[in-house]
Structure 1
Amino acid sequence: MFSTLDVDIRPGSGLGRFEIGSSLWTVLDMLRSLQHSFPQVDIKYDPDASSTTPIILHLRPHLDLLFSGKHQRLHTICLRKLRDPNPPVTLRYKDTVLSSTEDALTRVAVRRTFGPTYPGDDLRYPGLWFSFEEDGMGEGMKGVFSEDRMQEVKRVLISQKGNDGKGQDALEEVAEVPVMAGDIKQAVVKVHDGITLHFYPSSSKPVHIQLGETTAQDLNLELGPALRVHYKEDERMSIHSTSHASDVENEPGYFYNYFQHGLDFLICGSSHVVTKIILHSNVPGSPLFQRYKRCNWEIEGKPEDDEDDTPPRKRFYDRFETISHFLSPREPPPSMHLDRTDDEEDITLPSATTRLHGYDGIILEVSESSQVLSVMLF
């Protein structure tokens, strides 16, 4: 016996529990707690463009959730197979039941509820689209326009208003909406200094987190409590340090893990100041995918002169070779191999091995496809 999937339409805003503009990390985290309602989630993406690929979550059999490629924000919601009873679907708009397993949603019922719209094979309203095709977007299809009043709706799509007409681009980013409030919009990285965090809404005051200066108490005030505090126990990297650096490395410390921001901070156990900052790219197919939300980081270089207001930057989606040349025009430094499944006996991944490239004040973790998975400042 399946429980009914009971969802309400909010044109331009959302469907049921799902809000346009929500992050991929937030939605997948929510789905983990709803396995009784959504027991199977398929993740689809382009492995050849893993840093910027749009991602589709397929919640069988009724829902497809499309996320934008760079910011990983929920862009379009598609509800299909309205009459499939496994599980049954009840679709509502305000206080009206539009569709159920017993009652089909037809062309005339849509027009009675939402009013007139422009002619075409589909019925389009701001932020809402009713399609009479099982699959595909229906664009450019040849054929006679149907005026069958009882023609049954096969799919319902919700997106932001203005993104629902012809010419809709699945690669467009989602415009700022209230659900983004408190999320990091941009993280500007400066080597040997720290990071400057810009938040939604765009009018929010930036937060500067400085290596050797910002304290654990400052982090709690600016970012709220960490989702996890992890005490540093792994000292294996200290074997590669100089004697002085090794003393610093072996000093007791602890991590503040902000999974919801894609950030980690290593804090000195004695002075309680930030000594390292790690920013995560949340690249699909990588070992740490979905453990952290994507942090939209940019590494800022030195301005060309005192009057340069736009210093050069390299971004998370730039290839490793480009970022490496930006950090050091010479040959890339020797790399070390890291297999994140070494400590996990029951986990195997097709691309579990990454490479660590160290520069002056910064380390890049790089995938086999030359995507930068994380940045560490120290």
Structure 2
Amino acid sequence: MLSTLEVDIRPGSGIGMFELGSSLWAVLTMLRSLQHLFPQVEVKFDAENASTTPVILHLRPHFDLLFSGYHQHLHTICLRKITDLHPPIILRYKDSVICSGGDPLVKVQITRAFGPTYPGDELRYPGVWFSFEDDAINESLKGGMPHTGPDQRSKEVKRIIVTQKETQSGEHDALDEVIPCPVMFGDISRAIIKIHHGIVLHFFAPSSSPLHICLGETTAQDLNIDLGPPSRVYYKEDGRMAIHSPNPQLDEDSYSNDYFYNYFHHGIDFLISGQTHRVRKIILHSNVPGSPLFQHYKRCPWELEGRPEDDEDDTPPRMRLSDKFEAISHFLSPRDPPPQSMVLDRTDDDDTITLPSPVSRLYGYSGVILEVNEASQVVTVTLF
């Protein structure tokens, strides 16, 4: 027997279990526990620009979820095929059921529940609109008063779209980032990388102060206080990179007792010294769709900071995760070609992962290592 999908419409906020502003990582994590309702989840993205363009989740047959291109937050929710019984839908608004049991949702039911609105081909209200077409969204509003005959009253709603409410500056474009809202509070809005020093984390939250994490200074206890307990503590067992060290035995011994603090919900790993319990390395994850580490970590919106022109320069140059590797490499080493790379195939340790392009390359610079995929997108940044 199919489970019934009971959802409520919250204009400008969400539908059912989906809340505008939620991260792609959080939504996909939630969907893993809801396979009885959503057995088919399709992730769509532009493979050549996966770090910069929106991601769409198709949850057949009812939902399409659009996530913003940079911060990967839920921007738009589309509910469709309301009469499809696989699974059946019960649709609520406030305390009233407006549709259930596979019955069509018609125009007059919407106007009774939501009241009058402006004329047009769709019924548009702040934060929600109802379309009578199955085709791609028609963003234009056509003038003229709608007909009020019986055929118009019984027009069937094909799609319900929930977005954030329009701001004073006008309508919120589908390619814009999500306007900060409570569900985003506590997420990282910017992670400024200061090479050889550490990172500065800025958060989506009212009157939130930046958090400075310094290499060789910040302790494991500091991280527990400032970021909370890690998602996982992982003791370092992989010493394969030591073979590339001039003193491999010394390097392997030096790292033998180290451990990782994994903050999957922030997209950051910290390597902690087993001797001093201070931060030795910081790894920031881009959560690029199609890469082997996709969905292991939430996207960390990092920015690489360059040297300021002088001591009074408050706006030093920066490169962002949306920039291609070639531009970032020139930024880090403008006078030299990219350094020789090492090949990394993260699927070597997991036979269950099959990807069309599983191989990435590691490029080392002074104080930083970039992991780059075949589309020249930086998927991880390691600071040491």
TM-score > 0.5, shorter chain as reference = yes
Q: Does 1:224 align with 2:228?
A: yes
2:110 counterpart letter in structure 1: V
Distance 2:93 2:108 in 1: 15
Matched ranges for 1:7-18 at <5 A: 7-18=7-18
2:201 touches 2:211 (CA, 8 Å); kept in 1? yes
1:228 touches 1:257 (CA, 8 Å); kept in 2? yes
Q: 1:112 to 1:187 in 2, by over 3 A?
A: same
SS, match of residue 29 in structure 1: helix
1:277 touches 1:376 (CA, 8 Å); kept in 2? yes
Q: Identity over the aligned pairs, expressed in percent?
A: 65
SS, match of residue 121 in structure 2: coil
Matched ranges for 1:119-198 at <5 A: 119-139=119-139, 147=148, 148-162=152-166, 169-198=173-202
Question: How many angstroms does 1:343 deviate by?
Answer: 1.2
In structure 2, the residue matched to 1:64 is: 64
In structure 2, the residue matched to 1:90 is: 90
Q: 1:171 to 1:292 in 2, by over 3 A?
A: same
Pick one of 250, 255, 277 that aligns with 2:282: 277
Pick one of 237, 244, 247 that aligns with 1:240: 244
Q: Does 1:250 align with 2:250?
A: no
1:107 touches 1:152 (CA, 8 Å); kept in 2? yes
Distance 1:158 1:312 in 2: 38
In structure 2, the residue matched to 1:204 is: 208
In structure 1, the residue matched to 2:323 is: 318
Deviation string, structure 1 residues 143-170 (Cα, Å, up to 9, x no partner) = 996541111111101000017x996522
1:90 counterpart letter in structure 2: I
Q: Which ranges in structure 1 are unaligned for 5 or more consecutive residues? A: none
In structure 1, the residue matched to 2:383 is: 377
Instruction: Pick which of 239-248 and 359-368 moved more.
Output: 239-248
Instruction: Pick which of 60-69 and 103-112 moved more.
Output: 103-112
RMSD: 1.9
2:65 touches 2:78 (CA, 8 Å); kept in 1? yes
1:298 touches 1:315 (CA, 8 Å); kept in 2? yes
In structure 1, the residue matched to 2:22 is: 22
Instruction: Pick which of 106-115 and 232-241 moved more.
Output: 106-115
Deviation string, structure 1 residues 222-241 (Cα, Å, up to 9, x no partner) = 01111111110000000111
2:276 counterpart letter in structure 1: S
2:296 counterpart letter in structure 1: R
Question: How many angstroms does 1:48 deviate by?
Answer: 2.2
1:374 counterpart letter in structure 2: T
Q: 1:247 to 1:100 in 2, by over 3 A?
A: closer
In structure 2, the residue matched to 1:295 is: 300
Distance 1:313 1:149 in 2: 55
SS, match of residue 134 in structure 1: coil
1:287 touches 1:340 (CA, 8 Å); kept in 2? yes
Distance 2:307 2:177 in 1: 29
Instruction: Pick which of 261-270 and 40-49 moved more.
Output: 40-49
Q: 1:263 to 1:362 in 2, by over 3 A?
A: same
SS, match of residue 353 in structure 2: coil
Q: 4+ runs of 1 displaced by more than 4 Å?
A: 140-147, 165-168
Instruction: Pick which of 339-348 and 220-229 moved more.
Output: 339-348
In structure 1, the residue matched to 2:362 is: 356
Deviation string, structure 1 residues 10-37 (Cα, Å, up to 9, x no partner) = 0000111110000000000011111111
Q: Which ranges in structure 2 are unaligned for 5 or more consecutive residues? A: none
Task: Using structure 2 for the length normalisation, give the TM-score.
Answer: 0.94
Distance 1:169 1:217 in 2: 43
Q: 1:271 to 1:195 in 2, by over 3 A?
A: same
Deviation string, structure 1 residues 30-75 (Cα, Å, up to 9, x no partner) = 1111111111111111112111111111111001111011110000
Q: 1:336 to 1:178 in 2, by over 3 A?
A: same
Distance 1:146 1:21 in 2: 36
Distance 2:236 2:78 in 1: 44
Q: How many residues align?
A: 377
